[in-house]
Amino acid sequence: MSDTVADATPAVTHPLIEEMGDGFLVIRSTARILHLSALRSGLLADAGAAAKRVLIVTPPQTRLTFAMLQALRLFDGRWAVSAGDGLRLAGTDTLIAGPSEAWTAAAAAGERRRDGASAAWTQVTVSARYVDASAFEAGRVAEVVASETGTRLEGWGAVEPAASDWSPRGMTEWVRRRFPDVARIVVHGPGASGTLRAWQAPSGIYEETKLVVRGAIPAEGAARLMRRLHGVAQIQFAFAVAMAGAEDLTFSADPPHAVEPRAALVGPRAVRDWAFPTAGLEAAGVLTRIGHPRTPSLLLQFGSGPAPAWADLETALRAFGPETVVSALAGETP
């Protein structure tokens, strides 16, 4: 998206806006933790509808919740923190002179000290499709992820704090009232934080689940999770990684700690459309076919054998072809 916006673009007025530029808006906060409040959620949506993007500027010590960070990314927003006379793009070592450079600055290599991570995390991303609309139940995938990672979900809402008690039935009714538009939900539990997006298309109902849970998961546990997900819905793609962060599951502005892939699941539709070569990966113990023999899904485990996890992932990417993987994950066909 270009920073240049046509004159016909609708204006955005909002109490949080402190500065406006060519195609972007700036809001500032000194809060210790920045949540996806109703005001911030509304601003992101209004700005997106007006073809504008949002830059959030905070002190270096501010942290963002997972839901706030995901919403910012969804609308192509940026987060920057004060650094000397300028700003630093959060999660990087990139310094910029001002807001107008937030979307154009080249990434800078650096050795900024990572903040002291005090907890192991697992992040799981799942894209599911329900051909039978009556079989769709919002949050079912999230429940499976929480169960397999040893936690539970207690609340949900459109914004934070997610004040409604956990109820897949209530979420499903709320989501269906918003179809065919995209419905967005925030979910939380004592050791979990996540977001759901669901929408209806002629080909079915789609649900995207992103969940961060406190605790480590080994490759075998991640593979077991993928097998369970396979029985819940028609999974298009699922991916689990191990990472580290704060006990409260909020995100620092420092560059992130390294993540390590654990397992992935490629659904039958992508397998059918792209005819991935699998013999070498099966022989290496990285890949297993699961499900119906004629329309299988592909379960990939990383780091469960003698090779390191990243080496297993690189082996899979070389076998499939990086561009093919990107196209398949985007739902494209050959």
In tens digits, the chain (334 residues) has pLDDT values of 334 444 445 678 888 999 999 999 999 999 999 999 999 999 999 999 999 999 999 999 999 999 999 999 999 999 999 999 999 999 999 999 999 999 998 776 555 555 666 799 999 999 999 999 999 999 999 999 999 999 999 999 999 999 999 999 999 999 999 999 999 999 999 999 999 999 999 999 999 999 999 999 888 999 999 999 999 999 999 999 999 999 999 999 998 888 999 999 999 988 888 888 888 899 888 999 999 988 899 999 999 888 899 999 999 988 888 787 777 666 666 6
- Stretch (H or E) spanning 41: helix 38-49
Beta carbons of 289 and 298 less than 8 angstroms apart = yes
* 217 closest CA partner among 268, 281, 150: 150
What is the dihedral angle through the alpha carbons of 141, 142, 144, 150, rounded to the nearest 10 degrees?
170
Beta carbons of 171 and 210 less than 8 angstroms apart = no
Q: In which residue are the tokens 């005819």 written?
A: 275
Give the per-residue pLDDT at 229: 96
84 CB burial (10 A radius; 0-12, 13-18, 19+):
exposed
- Stretch (H or E) spanning 297: strand 296-301
Beta carbons of 44 and 54 less than 8 angstroms apart = yes
What is the CATH number that goes with domain 19-101?
Answer: 3.100.10
* Domain boundary assignment for the chain: 19-101, 119-329
3-state secondary structure of 327: helix
Beta carbons of 33 and 63 less than 8 angstroms apart = yes
**Alpha carbon of residue 136 to chain centroid:** 21
